[in-house]
Amino acid sequence: MELFLLLLIPLIARFVNRYQKTGSVFPAFYLSTKHKEFLKSNFEFYQKLPPKSKKIFERRVALFISSKKFIPRNMDHVTWEMKVLISASAIQLTFGFPRVNLSWFRYILVYPESFYSRTNQQRHKGEVNPKAKTIVLSWKDFVEGYLKPDGRNLGLHEMAHALRLENRIMNEEYNFLDHEVLAEWESRALNTMKEIKNGVEEFFRKYGATNNEEFFAVAVENFFERPTEFKARHPLTYQTMCRLLRQDPVLLEKN
């Protein structure tokens, strides 16, 4: 009997922990038909995946939704459509890492449009705050990011910041980016940032030259939005990003 109780304690602790994180004791492993239909008609990355990968994508989106707390700001509530698309954006970026769910980040704050940030007293479209375990997004700008394949995508940009932090912050998911590939990436990034500053590089927008983190985020936007052009203009950088993120969006272009 005592042994039984001893075995029961960690199980109860796990349920309590999950309840505190998600408001439910049960993990969600499956998306409803309504959510799947919504992805099918609104999320291009998902549309292009082969059937087997689609199933994996759905399960990962379901898990992401159930493991985050979505908090509305300057609006009444975060709709299920917002939750599905924001989560899909995170899974698109992390699809090469089956176990990475950006688990350090517990809260997704959604504003209807750009918001005033106390951090630097400017209007922001998005930000990632590791101390508060929070990813913040302007819904208007998130949607606009997916409307045009122009190399600008707020959702992917902020998720890219979150991914690098998740990799650095010691927690259950850290240190998943390959060290050698990451070192190769940093050296290529440094060169391209110099070229942007010198006005030689035009494919990546100027903001990418701000620092390593911003260059990575801007490159991620282009990696998914304009992969064929990225590969043609910067084949080695593109290949490095494929190895770093363990996926190749150009292959999906053919589907």
Binding site for Zn ion (CB under 5 A): 214, 217
Task: Name which of 61 and 189 has its Cβ closer to Zn ion.
Answer: 189
In angstroms, give the least distance from the CB of 125 to Zn ion. Answer: 9
Task: Name which of 30 and 207 has its Cβ closer to Zn ion.
Answer: 207
- Structural contact between residues 150 and 225, judged by C-beta atoms closer than 8 angstroms: yes
Task: Name which of 213 and 248 has its Cβ closer to Zn ion.
Answer: 213
In angstroms, give the least distance from the CB of 204 to Zn ion. Answer: 13
In angstroms, give the least distance from the CB of 161 to Zn ion. Answer: 6
Task: Name which of 84 and 219 has its Cβ closer to Zn ion.
Answer: 219
Task: Name which of 61 and 196 has its Cβ closer to Zn ion.
Answer: 196
| C-alpha distances in Å from residue 144, one per residue of 11, 30, 81, 147 | 43, 28, 15, 5
In angstroms, give the least distance from the CB of 199 to Zn ion. Answer: 21
| C-alpha distances in Å from residue 161, one per residue of 88, 212, 229 | 16, 10, 23
In angstroms, give the least distance from the CB of 192 to Zn ion. Answer: 16
> Please, is 195 exposed, middle or buried when counting C-beta atoms within 10 Å of its C-beta (0-12, 13-18, 19+)?
middle
In angstroms, give the least distance from the CB of 33 to Zn ion. Answer: 36
Task: Name which of 177 and 217 has its Cβ closer to Zn ion.
Answer: 217
Q: Which residue is nearest to Zn ion (CB)?
A: 217
Query: Based on C-alpha coordinates, what's the Rg of the chain?
Result: 19
For CA atoms 202, 205, 206, 210, the dihedral sign is negative
| C-alpha distances in Å from residue 120, one per residue of 59, 117, 231 | 37, 6, 35
> Please, is 61 exposed, middle or buried when counting C-beta atoms within 10 Å of its C-beta (0-12, 13-18, 19+)?
buried
SS3 at position 167: helix
